Amino acid sequence: MLDEHDDIHPLFHGAPRTTEFKKLRKRIVRMTREAIDQYGMIEKGTRWLVCLSGGKDSYTLLAVLHELKWRGLLPVDLLACNLDQGQPGFPATVLPAFLEKMGVPHRIEYKDTYSIVMDKIPEGRTFCALCSRLRRGNLYRVAREEGCSAVVLGHHRDDILETFFMNLFHGGRLATMPPKLLNEEGDLFVYRPLAHVAEADCEKFATAMKYPIIPCDLCGSQDGLQRQQVKKILDGWEENSPGRRQIIFRALSNARPSHLLDADLFDFESLLRNPENLR
């Protein structure tokens, strides 16, 4: 996969030739392909809107999807999209220049959701919920305008785990970000192909490739967020028991409704004893 510069997508030009990086890249590509296959994301001939924030995760997503398409393993069209939300100081030229240089089809959409968030959210409250809702609505609109069947996001394994515990601790429900979701209108899928990939691998990959990372100056600048608190808990568990994150992640795909308490999910009332076994 890293042999000749004329046999790789431009997104990988200059990739380190170390054994460690080759293993990292192969692992991310393999895990992404497994998630795409496992959750039935491919509809041949469709178009995906690949959302690019400028963070390490979305750069990794963009590169790996183009790697799979380059190898003939992803028979869909890819359109990269960055939603410029109007944050003061946002380096608006970085992503367009990068995408042009890499020959990646893209659309840059400007929509000032920053002002709305700052106006609606009281001081001291977190921005994430409203910011995310506004961002998602605009991405859905762009996807429809571009004839896309899916909005593709860069959420990774750790995002999924953190969301699970946030729902558990603060929402009173067992739920997380699914790798594949149908929107409420029923006309667009939301895909998370990096669902099996660890955040640490995304960071190592993007750093090694020297992609121009753009930090989030809105929600990413706030202290005391629930997600940050959950991340610290998971970090502590991982430090005391390496591999704990992956064990918990496997549990999310190994649910046993009969051993939980949701009567809407499992029909406890209809459970009957077998008279033949009564003595």
CATH of the domain at 119: 3.40.50.620
Lowest mean pLDDT among 7-21, 111-125, 184-198, 239-253: 111-125
Whether the per-residue pLDDT at 169 is higher than 90: the answer is: yes
Whether the per-residue pLDDT at 139 is higher than 90: the answer is: yes
Give residue 180's pLDDT.
Answer: 98
| Of 202, 211, 179, residue with least CA distance to 34 | 179
Question: Using CA atoms, how far apart are residues 173 and 144, in angstroms rounded to an integer?
Answer: 31
Task: Pick 274 or 243 by higher pLDDT.
Answer: 243
Q: Is residue 98 part of a domain?
A: yes
Task: Pick 257 or 123 by higher pLDDT.
Answer: 257
What is the domain range of residue 207?
5-255
Q: Provide the token pair at 146.
A: 């571009």
Give residue 125's pLDDT.
Answer: 60
Q: Is residue 272 part of a domain?
A: no
Overall number of domains in the chain: 1
Averaged pLDDT, 50-58: 94
End-to-end, the C-alpha distance of the chain in Å comes to 66
